[in-house]
Amino acid sequence: AVVLGAVGGPASQLANELQLPLSPLADLQRASLILIDDPAQFAAHAHAITTAVEQGAIAVLLELPVGEFALADSTITIERAGMNPRHFVSRQTGHPLVAGFQPNDFRFWHDSRTGYVTPILHTTFSAKGWDAILTSGNGDWSSGWGPALAVAEQRLGKGAFRICQLSLAGRTTTNPVARLFAQRLLGLLS
Task: Give me the phi and psi of 108, to 5 degrees please.
Answer: 50, 60
Q: Over 70: is that where the pLDDT of 190 sits?
A: no
pLDDT digits (tens, 9 = 90+) for 63-114: 999 999 999 889 999 999 988 999 999 999 999 999 999 999 999 999 999 9
Contact status, residue 102 vs residue 43, Cβ threshold 8 Å: no
pLDDT category of residue 14 using cuts at 50, 70 and 90: very high
List of E strands, 9-103: 33-36, 58-62, 67-71, 74-80
Task: Give me the phi and psi of 46, to 5 degrees please.
Answer: -55, -45
pTM: 0.95
Confidence (pLDDT) at 143: 77
Q: How far is the C-alpha of 155 from the C-alpha of 171, rounded, in Å?
A: 27
Q: Over 70: is that where the pLDDT of 133 sits?
A: yes
Once rounded to an integer, what is the mean pLDDT over residues 172-188? Answer: 97
Confidence (pLDDT) at 154: 97
pLDDT digits (tens, 9 = 90+) for 143-179: 777 899 999 999 999 999 999 999 999 999 999 999 9
- Number of helices and strands (H, E) in the chain? 4, 11
pLDDT digits (tens, 9 = 90+) for 33-65: 999 999 999 999 999 999 999 999 999 999 999
pLDDT category of residue 6 using cuts at 50, 70 and 90: confident
Confidence (pLDDT) at 156: 97
Contact status, residue 99 vs residue 113, Cβ threshold 8 Å: no
